[in-house]
Amino acid sequence: MRIARLTGRPVLLTDEGAIDVPDHLADDVLARWDDILAWSPTATGGRPYNPADLRAPVESARQIFAVALNYRPHTAEAGYEEPASPLVFTKFPTCLTGPYATIALPPGHVDWELELVAVIGRAAHRVPEEKGWDPVVALTVGQDISERISQLAGSPAQFSLGKSYPGFGPIGPALVGLDELTDRDDLELICELNGETVQHDRTANMIFPIPRLVSYLSAFCTLLPGDLIFTGTPAGVGNRRVPRRFLTPGDELVSRIGGVGEMRHRFRRATP
Ligand code: ZN
């Protein structure tokens, strides 16, 4: 099952197009996920739609967790030792935007980070690792867009604000139910900037896979329906390239995860 948000309304995506989720299930699709899953086989057909009209499939997450240094080649390019436990920060929820948005570039060094995003559908606290997939009902594609100067300023650095400008958390194009995936633990990630591949890895190479992240996070926080976990980025970010490279107005960034979907973003200068 693939659930998207089309001009503000939740829809089921089928091979033919989009079907409105019934009103009585549409107020909170993550909390009603199992009911929507039960309804979905009865929905047939679908109307054509313009992908540019898709919005963020989760518009107001209560908690967004993000994980640093979760792929070994990225850990090495960033100049760090492999972490012993997940390194967690937040992207404040006002950074969320849609899968085809144009994103404003504030002053500084704005960089890309393609990431698989796990979407929580069941409240959970203290989840053992062997049950770590249980609260997750869907996956989606995410970009942990980051302004590097503010992210890395200070000692110790405080990651969260430099990663939370408006538009710095694009997700989508849809919430892809785990039923859609043949191997949820091994998905191909490809990030392209102006047609050039800049990141390419597989989620099977995560240092801390999703069940471990859910177990770790839920040992502290209660996870809630609609919460998002940005699971970390592979190697190939602009800040660690030689020469360094950052996003500029007019760039096109394509973010693709096998079986989950593709996002496409343009960038413009932020108005002062
Ligand atoms: Zn990241």
126, two tokens: 């203290």
CA of 163 to the centre of ligand 1 (A): 9
Kindly state the average pLDDT of the residues 12-29. 95
Residue-wise pLDDT for 59-78, tens only, equals 989 999 999 999 999 999 98
Say how many residues make up the chain: 272
CA of 90 to the centre of ligand 1 (A): 10
For residue 8, the model assigns a pLDDT of 84
40 and 69 in a common domain: no
CA of 24 to the centre of ligand 1 (A): 36
Answer yes or no: is pLDDT of 271 > 90.
no
Cβ–Cβ < 8 Å for 164, 147: no
| CB neighbour list of residue 272: distance below 8 Å, 6 or more residues apart | none
CA of 113 to the centre of ligand 1 (A): 6
56, two tokens: 């963020």
104 and 16 in a common domain: no
CA of 14 to the centre of ligand 1 (A): 31
CA of 89 to the centre of ligand 1 (A): 9
141 and 43 in a common domain: no
CA of 140 to the centre of ligand 1 (A): 14
d(CA 272, CA 268): 12
| Alpha-carbon distances, residue 145 vs 15, 18, 23, 223, 272 (angstroms) | 31, 29, 34, 23, 20
**How does the average pLDDT of the chain come out, rounded?**
96
Kindly state the average pLDDT of the residues 152-170. 95
Which residues partner with 110 through β-bridges? 147
168, two tokens: 């710095």
CA of 159 to the centre of ligand 1 (A): 10
**Cα torsion 178, 136, 24, 47: sign:** negative
197 and 144 in a common domain: yes
Residue-wise pLDDT for 106-154, tens only, equals 999 999 999 999 999 999 999 999 999 999 999 999 999 999 999 999 9
**CATH no. for residue 260?**
3.90.850.10
Answer yes or no: is pLDDT of 170 > 90.
yes
In one-letter notation, the amino acid at residue 195 is G
CA of 181 to the centre of ligand 1 (A): 23
Residue numbers of the domain that contains 38: 1-49
CA of 91 to the centre of ligand 1 (A): 9
Q: Determine which of 73-82, 196-205, 217-226 has the lowest per-residue pLDDT on average.
A: 73-82
62 and 180 in a common domain: yes
- Residue 84 pLDDT class (50, 70, 90 cuts): very high
CA of 112 to the centre of ligand 1 (A): 9
Report the percentage of the chain scoring pLDDT > 70: 100
CA of 17 to the centre of ligand 1 (A): 32
CA of 70 to the centre of ligand 1 (A): 9
150 and 125 in a common domain: yes
81 and 155 in a common domain: yes
The kind and range of the H/E element at 188 are strand 188-193
84 and 194 in a common domain: yes
131 and 1 in a common domain: no
Cβ–Cβ < 8 Å for 122, 140: no
CA of 232 to the centre of ligand 1 (A): 5
CA of 114 to the centre of ligand 1 (A): 7
246 and 163 in a common domain: yes
CA of 174 to the centre of ligand 1 (A): 20
211 and 141 in a common domain: yes
Domain count, the chain: 2
d(CA 12, CA 5): 9
**261 burial level (CB within 10 Å; 0-12, 13-18, 19+):** buried
CA of 147 to the centre of ligand 1 (A): 11
116 and 14 in a common domain: no
Answer yes or no: is pLDDT of 272 > 80.
no
- Residue 7 pLDDT class (50, 70, 90 cuts): confident
CA of 59 to the centre of ligand 1 (A): 19
For residue 190, the model assigns a pLDDT of 98
Nearest to 214 by CA among 119, 75, 148: 119
